[in-house]
Structure 1
Amino acid sequence: MPVARHVQLSRDGVVTVLEICALAAVYYGSARLGLLQQLVRGQVTPLWPPSGIAVAALLLRGPRLWPGIALGAFLVNVSLGPSLPAVLAITAGNTLAPVCSYALLCRTGFRSELDRLRDALALIFLGAFTGMLISATTGGATLVLAGVLSTEGFWPTWSVWWTGDAMGVLVVTPVLLLLSSARRPKDVAPRRWLEALLLAAATAGVGVVETGRVPLMFLGFPLLIWAAFRFQLAGAAPCALAVSTFAIVTATRAAGPFAGHGLLTNMITLQAFNGSASLTALLVAAVISERNETQREIARACGQLAGMVATIATGEYRPMRPEREGKGVGETDGNGGPADTKRPSPHP
């Protein structure tokens, strides 16, 4: 038994190390992809996918994977940071932020299915907006102390940093949680596939218009409602990711509603739009999921009641009588005669 237990622990340790290495590699790769849209000093971007990947990894595999986040963040920042102490400080902030988000979500009883309204609200306001304050504040303050940024440049940089990390959680984490529980659909009607294709085509069309010079970003909201209402999280999460990505591309090009404004104003506008889009998609999807679950529970209850009524109608239903402590009317004493249910008077 001790040998078998030692072998099992060794296997678990190897699996954990492999998962940590895989998370670090995915973190690094997604960071390089996110830096393609960098806005400030070559290292601050309005969409930071690694933050969403980190939160999803902690929710799915547990806090034991935090070294993978730290390793990935260090590999990304070591070639961007001005000095080793600054790199370590930024790495610490990038690691603590998703860990804090994970802890806050666990305190609320978060479920990765995102099928409840409370789960969607927790992910938005605790996982994204609150937890990512740590990385943005740590990163911005580190760049100022290292002399990379001036004091006046702290808030614009902080706004972009916080926007990027929060958007990573809002649009990337739901997609990863969805993929982790995805199952091959069975007996899906062809018209449902056709509707999904139409939704995808409409989203792509809106993206082409949105990234152009015409300020029509609001066209994404009907698509988000359509996706959430008809496909719940399976449609809302990818659609929100696409709409937010189109908005970020538009912001980096300073086109549409982002033309002619400063960086801080554009980041506030972008954060408001992407936050509203994610909020709409996740909340509508959660409400529809709760409604569907309630309908299924009502159907199950009606089925049980119908079965009981059918059993009673056929005369096969025999309700159990509760046991009585004393003898009552119709009961007999030990000699076969009727039992006296009256208590004797205490006085002669």
Structure 2
Amino acid sequence: MITGKPETNELRRATMGSQTNLSWNRKLAEIVLVAVIYIIIARLGVIISGQLVSVSGLWPSAGIALAALLLRGYYLWPGIFLGAVFGGGILDSASTPLLISSILVSLCFGVGMTLEAMLGTFLIKRFIPDPNPYNRRKDVFVFIIIALLSTITNAFVSVLSLIFTGFAPSSSFLFTLLIWWFGDFVGIILVVPIILIWIGAPWWYRRVQDNPGELLLLLILILVTSAAIFQVFFNFDLGDYPVQFLLLPFLLWAAVRFGQLGVVLFVLSELIFASIGTLNRRGPFMLPSLNSSLLLLQAYIGTISVVGLTLAASITEQLKVQSDLKKLSENLELQVRERTGQVEKGNAKLRAEVQERREAEQALRQLSASLEQRVQERTTELELANKELESFSYSVAHDLRSPLRSIDGFISILKEECFPETDEKSNKYFNRVHAAVMHMGQLIEDLLKLTQVSRKEIEVRDVDLSDLVQRIADELMSEQTDRKVEFKIQEGIIVPGDKQLLGILINNLLDNAWKFTRTRTPAVIEFGSINVDTSKAYFVRDNGIGFDIRYADTIFKPFSRLHSTDEFPGTGIGLATVQRVVQRLGGRIWVEAEVDKGATFYFTFIA
């Protein structure tokens, strides 16, 4: 919001309005200027070509249009449109019967040229980051490709309008399209570099200023040689010799000494003399047909333009690299001198630090040797303690079996001989003692298996896991024939490993699945394998009661249970034994489970 005195606000509004009007007035003036320049250049192109409307081997106005949008912006498109409408020459000779057709063709000329210029500008700004697209070989190639792509739009639209309105025969469509296309292309290749180089790069002026005599001599030689080769001022027979190639040394001279400007001046001179000679049926491009001669001329001009601009870009890149290297060398020398002084000052300090580091390394080596010895001693002690603990556990479990058998035997004798006739309550007590003894016996057996897993030497051989699972499943089915359990066993799983340890592992997992599926009808127990990362994993899956996944780590601890023995009998050693087996085999085990939806135990191992 504008605040302040009323007089001040009015002055500000008036100033802003005048600035806006000035901006629009300037843009309008630029649009009119572009249209006028386009029309003048287009008329000159028609006069030089001697052809109908703008079907010319050179159409400089295409370069004027593209350069204008590149330098000032897209807002100049109305000027290009008007210039193309009134500069093509089609309206000059339009009679009254053909007036409407002439207007339609002229409008198509305007649309085609506007699309060509805007498409070329968009593609150049999109794919060439450098404001001057002639400084690098890569940018030159991209510019040439963009020029070829954008000019085909105008050629196609304009030639089709000529064909449809009867200004050109349909039989000459391809020839007219090529002439138009190459005319716009050559116009862009010649005119755009001149404008962009003249306005945007002052380096060419320094080259000309340093060598004006050389440039004048080069231009005189080019003009004289071109006039002789294309017989502009001379008329003598040169035979069928390719004399146009005599001009290539001048192209190299122009590119090496004067860069893109020299190349553009050379190509422009060649185009003027070659066009005059060819239109007068003289010179090396003279063929039986004038159309064929013009196409050959365009190919020649396009070739020397591309070669010259590429060569000039290569030289410009090389000069820039040399200049950058020189600056970099100077900066490096300065940095080296500064760094040398710093290094000399730091050498004394560095020597002192090196001496301190040597002393510290010596002390560190001594400490490391001492620590290594202590670690070795501690490791030996731990290994010995582990062996003694395993031996003790095995001995305790083994020695407990005999007293348990005695207790069980004496309880049986006591019941049969001393109390042959007991009431129901006494029988219940005897049965509870017997069950406790059996549970203790099973617990001791499981402990022995657990210690055996740690003590056993691993013997690797091929093990048919599918067959092993099937045999254990058959045993479980034979023990409880009243249960309905469906086993799904993947066939052909043969792996290298220790058969006994793998048997313990599979037996415990299947026994676990058997136990926790007893409430399911039918129960389903599945065994198979899957790919996990780059290794193979095996699984035992059931549809039993499952459990809360939060307790996944707890179930592998010895004596850990998630259910009471009244619900599901067991010792709590089975899954601990499974984990010990997997660890012995160099693998890992994990579980996925959900309450009332079963559990899946996955395991891997290394033979």
Length-normalised TM-score, structure 2: 0.49
1:79 match: 92
Q: Answer yes or no: is 1:13 the counterpart of 2:20.
A: no
1:326 match: none
CA offsets 1:170-199 (integer angstroms, 9 cap, x no match): 111111112213548459776x22221221
Q: Indicate if the aligned counterparts of 1:45 and 1:161 stay in contact, CA closer than 8 A.
A: yes
Change (3 A) 1:45 1:186: closer
Q: Indicate if the aligned counterparts of 2:128 and 2:142 stay in contact, CA closer than 8 A.
A: no
Decide which moves more: 27-36 or 68-77: 68-77
Q: Displacement, 1:109?
A: 2.2
* Distance in 1 separating the partners of 2:30 and 2:117: 17
1:116 match: 136
Query: Which residue, out of 259, 282, 288, partners 2:286?
Result: 259
Change (3 A) 1:234 1:257: closer
- Which residue identity lines up with residue 69 of structure 1 in the other structure? I
* Distance in 2 separating the partners of 1:56 and 1:148: 30
2:255 match: 228
Q: Indicate if the aligned counterparts of 2:109 and 2:158 stay in contact, CA closer than 8 A.
A: yes
CA offsets 1:152-181 (integer angstroms, 9 cap, x no match): 121222222112111100111111112213
Secondary structure of the residue aligned to 2:179 is helix
1:159 match: 178
1:60 match: 71
Q: Indicate if the aligned counterparts of 1:100 and 1:131 stay in contact, CA closer than 8 A.
A: yes
- Which residue identity lines up with residue 76 of structure 1 in the other structure? G
* Distance in 1 separating the partners of 2:284 and 2:209: 40
1:198 match: 217
Q: Indicate if the aligned counterparts of 1:74 and 1:87 stay in contact, CA closer than 8 A.
A: yes
Decide which moves more: 277-286 or 240-249: 240-249
* Distance in 1 separating the partners of 2:35 and 2:184: 17
- Matched ranges for 1:237-256 at <5 A: 237-256=264-283
- Which residue identity lines up with residue 79 of structure 1 in the other structure? D
Q: Answer yes or no: is 1:218 the counterpart of 2:252.
A: no
1:325 match: none
Query: Which residue, out of 122, 129, 142, partners 1:103?
Result: 122
Query: Which residue, out of 45, 62, 66, partners 1:51?
Result: 62
2:369 match: none
1:311 match: 338
Decide which moves more: 200-209 or 280-289: 200-209
Q: Displacement, 1:268?
A: 2.8
Change (3 A) 1:37 1:234: closer
* Distance in 1 separating the partners of 2:184 and 2:207: 39
2:152 match: 133
Q: Displacement, 1:119?
A: 2.2
* Distance in 1 separating the partners of 2:131 and 2:246: 29
Q: Displacement, 1:249?
A: 2.0
Q: Indicate if the aligned counterparts of 2:34 and 2:80 stay in contact, CA closer than 8 A.
A: yes
Larger radius of gyration: 2
RMSD: 2.5
Q: Indicate if the aligned counterparts of 1:63 and 1:99 stay in contact, CA closer than 8 A.
A: yes
Q: Indicate if the aligned counterparts of 2:287 and 2:293 stay in contact, CA closer than 8 A.
A: no
Change (3 A) 1:315 1:158: closer
- Which residue identity lines up with residue 264 of structure 2 in the other structure? A
Secondary structure of the residue aligned to 2:284 is helix
- Which residue identity lines up with residue 219 of structure 1 in the other structure? L
What is the aligned-residue identity percentage?
29
CA offsets 1:49-72 (integer angstroms, 9 cap, x no match): 100111111111111111110111
Decide which moves more: 229-238 or 22-31: 229-238
* Distance in 1 separating the partners of 2:334 and 2:244: 53
CA offsets 1:84-131 (integer angstroms, 9 cap, x no match): 22221122112211221111211212534221112211222212x211
Query: Which residue, out of 309, 330, 344, partners 1:282?
Result: 309
Q: Displacement, 1:263?
A: 3.9
- Which residue identity lines up with residue 186 of structure 2 in the other structure? M
Q: Indicate if the aligned counterparts of 1:228 and 1:285 stay in contact, CA closer than 8 A.
A: yes
Q: Answer yes or no: is 1:94 the counterpart of 2:113.
A: yes
1:143 match: 162
Q: Displacement, 1:80?
A: 5.1
Length-normalised TM-score, structure 1: 0.84
Change (3 A) 1:24 1:130: same
**Greater fraction strand:** 2
CA offsets 1:253-299 (integer angstroms, 9 cap, x no match): 22223323324422331222011110111001101111111111111
RCO greater where, 1 or 2, for CA within 8 Å and sep 6 or more?
A: 1
Change (3 A) 1:200 1:65: same
Q: Indicate if the aligned counterparts of 1:225 and 1:280 stay in contact, CA closer than 8 A.
A: no
* Distance in 2 separating the partners of 1:39 and 1:161: 14
Q: Answer yes or no: is 1:171 the counterpart of 2:190.
A: yes
Consecutive unaligned residues in structure 1, runs of 5 or more: 320-328, 331-348
CA offsets 1:302-334 (integer angstroms, 9 cap, x no match): 111111222234459989xxxxxxxxx99xxxx
* Distance in 2 separating the partners of 1:189 and 1:159: 40
Q: Indicate if the aligned counterparts of 2:108 and 2:161 stay in contact, CA closer than 8 A.
A: yes
Q: Displacement, 1:139?
A: 1.5
Q: Answer yes or no: is 1:291 the counterpart of 2:318.
A: yes
- Which residue identity lines up with residue 243 of structure 1 in the other structure? E
Change (3 A) 1:316 1:174: same
Change (3 A) 1:317 1:163: farther
Consecutive unaligned residues in structure 2, runs of 5 or more: 1-11, 95-100, 232-236, 347-355, 358-607
Secondary structure of the residue aligned to 1:232 is helix
Q: Indicate if the aligned counterparts of 1:116 and 1:289 stay in contact, CA closer than 8 A.
A: yes
